Amino acid sequence: MSLTFDAIIIGAGIMGCSTAYQLARRGLKVAVVEKTHIGAGSTGRSSAIIRQHYSNEFTARMALYSLRVFQNFDDAVGGESGFTTTGFLVLVPERDVEGLKANVAMQQKVGIRTEIIGPEAAREYMPALEVGDIVAAAWEPESGYADPNLTVNSFADAARRHKARIYQDEPVTGVTLGEDGIVRLESKRERWEAPIVVNTAGPWAARVAQMVGVEVPINPCRVQVAFFRRPPGHEAPHPVVADFINATYFRDETGGQTLVGLIDPSEADNVVDPDDYKEQVDNEFVLDVGEKLVRRYPIIEESESTGGYAALYAITPDWHPIVDELVPGSGFYICAGFSGHGFKLGPAVGVMVADMVLKESEPQFDHRFFRLRRYEENEPIRGAYEYSISG
Ligand SMILES: Cc1cc2nc3c(=O)[nH]c(=O)nc-3n(C[C@H](O)[C@H](O)[C@H](O)COP(=O)(O)OP(=O)(O)OC[C@H]3O[C@@H](n4cnc5c(N)ncnc54)[C@H](O)[C@@H]3O)c2cc1C
């Protein structure tokens, strides 16, 4: 006997849980089927930076919508997200100044609080910054970071309050598209069916798509982050920084630490088996990223290295997600491939996917911007920068 629902979500990351919440609050009987546990994929290891700096208006609008949710999380979703406002700085060299100006002008039009500032003004927000090589910066006072595990569990709880069921420790092993319009799923122990199924399996999404014979260009790629405990006198939180010159991003972390990762297109080359990769950080990575961080934030020279870890991005050819019906008319959808910058968009993504599967005539965010066919149409989403996850 199959368990029957109106909609089933495969994968309990931020995209799956946000989508489950949006569908359940609209009155659908929803199930989420998760391989391991809530937040076990990219979401639970996310740096969870929440900024609005994007090169395209559509994603900038999604980021702004989501920021408002993070700022009012208890009212909008319920529970906590751990959102902390620190402000966000983008630091650019000469070659990116025109792109930065165009992006900031577009973002201001969308309603985002952001402005172009000079290097010395950047030091007012973060006095310990080295700014000699910076030509311009953008400042977003409302941005910051959240706690990804708190956030995803709050979305899961919110979905449950609207009667969604969340099955954990249940890897989906088979998907069948019925001629009767019903999508059937199976795991080793259980069977489910629904007219709407959404694959939000993140770095595993291409594998789940292969279960119905469809290839999608989403690669699981290993990426790393490292932590440094700042020296005495520098415990106070600092803003989030995207440093295009040293190709790093960094933010404050609890315990007076700084978390740092790379903004590097070559991370797309580190394709791994998502079930079998080295989860420990490499010593060479800590040394390399530490040197880059010291160039921008010299007090890190006196810091203590406190480790790091490796995790997965789900990367597409243009570093933007695929949100679409996988097989037209089948009821089997995909929402994956957020390429290292999806966490902040999670609240808006739930709304977008709910509108898509319910075929809303005036969707708040039209998923076709992220349609699968854009690659064969040779219309990938293009950004103003060459820095991959910057969007
Ligand atoms: C180190 C790191 C730093 C990041 N920093 C940021 C940041 O600062 N800001 C930002 O916005 N984004 C950031 N991201 C990206 C962001 O975290 C991801 O885009 C987002 O979490 C993706 O969510 P998801 O729900 O699509 O995927 P996931 O969180 O990976 O969820 C997919 C789920 O599907 C489950 N699953 C897989 N296969 C199956 C199956 N067969 N059956 C059932 N379940 C299955 C998995 O177990 C998993 O729980 C970062 C990511 C990483 C790794």
Give the tens place of pLDDT for each residue, 104-119: 999 999 999 999 999 9
Instruction: Count CA atoms within 13 Å of residue 282 on its CB side.
Output: 11
Our mutation pick for probing the ligand 1 site, out of 14, 43, 278, counting the most ligand atoms within 8 A of Cβ, is 43
Ligand 1 center to residue 200 CA distance, Å? 9
Cα distance between residue 352 and residue 142, in whole Å: 23
CATH fold of 219-315, please? D-Amino Acid Oxidase; Chain A, domain 2 (3.30.9)
Give the DSSP per-residue string, 289-351. HHHHHHHHSGGGGG-EEEEEEEEEEEE-TTSS-EEEESSTTSSEEEEE--TT--GGGHHHHHH
Nearest CA to ligand 1 atom 51: 46
Ligand 1 center to residue 381 CA distance, Å? 21
Our mutation pick for probing the ligand 1 site, out of 37, 46, 153, 199, counting the most ligand atoms within 8 A of Cβ, is 46
Cα distance between residue 59 and residue 63, in whole Å: 6
Give the DSSP per-residue string, 179-225. TTS-EEEE-SS-EEEESEEEE--GGGHHHHHHTTT-----EEEEEEE
Cα distance between residue 260 and residue 255, in whole Å: 15
Nearest CA to ligand 1 atom 52: 46
pLDDT, residue 329, reads 96
Ligand 1 center to residue 203 CA distance, Å? 7
Nearest CA to ligand 1 atom 33: 11
Our mutation pick for probing the ligand 1 site, out of 33, 38, 42, counting the most ligand atoms within 8 A of Cβ, is 42
Instruction: Count CA atoms within 13 Å of residue 221 on its CB side.
Output: 22
Cα distance between residue 280 and residue 311, in whole Å: 9
**Of 61-75, 128-142, 192-206, 374-388, minimum mean pLDDT range:** 374-388
pLDDT, residue 28, reads 98
CB atoms within 10 A of CB 253: 19
**Residues of the chain above pLDDT 90, percent:** 97
What is the band of 1 on the pLDDT scale with cuts at 50, 70, 90? confident
- pLDDT tens by residue, 243-258: 999 999 999 999 999 9
What is the band of 387 on the pLDDT scale with cuts at 50, 70, 90? low
Residue boundaries of the structural domains of the chain: 3-45+148-218+318-390, 88-141, 219-315
Nearest CA to ligand 1 atom 41: 172
Q: Tokens for 91, please give them.
A: 């630091």
Is the pLDDT at 78 greater than 60, yes or no?
yes
272 to 2, 194, 313: CA distances (angstroms): 34, 32, 10
pLDDT, residue 382, reads 85
Nearest CA to ligand 1 atom 13: 341
Ligand 1 center to residue 202 CA distance, Å? 5
- pLDDT tens by residue, 319-356: 999 999 999 999 999 999 999 999 999 999 999 999 99
Quick one: which atom of ligand 1 is closest to the CA of 336? 26
Cα distance between residue 371 and residue 376, in whole Å: 11
What is the band of 226 on the pLDDT scale with cuts at 50, 70, 90? very high
What is the band of 391 on the pLDDT scale with cuts at 50, 70, 90? low
What is the band of 383 on the pLDDT scale with cuts at 50, 70, 90? confident
- pLDDT tens by residue, 3-26: 999 999 999 999 999 999 999 999
What is the band of 386 on the pLDDT scale with cuts at 50, 70, 90? low
What architecture (CATH level 2) is domain 3-45+148-218+318-390? 3-Layer(bba) Sandwich (3.50)
Cβ atoms of residues 350 and 22 within 8 Å? yes
Q: Which residues line ligand 1 (CB under 6 A)?
A: 10-16, 33-36, 40-43, 45-49, 171-172, 200-204, 208, 223, 225, 261, 311-313, 336, 338, 340-344
248, amino acid identity:
T
Ligand 1 center to residue 42 CA distance, Å? 3
pLDDT, residue 134, reads 95
- pLDDT tens by residue, 21-55: 999 999 999 999 999 999 999 999 999 999 999 99
Cβ atoms of residues 367 and 324 within 8 Å? yes
77 contacts: CB under 8 Å, gap ≥ 6: 21, 69, 154, 155, 158, 347
DSSP structure class, residue 47: -
Cα distance between residue 363 and residue 359, in whole Å: 8
Verdict on whether the full-model pTM lies above 0.95: yes
Largest distance between two CA atoms of the chain: 67
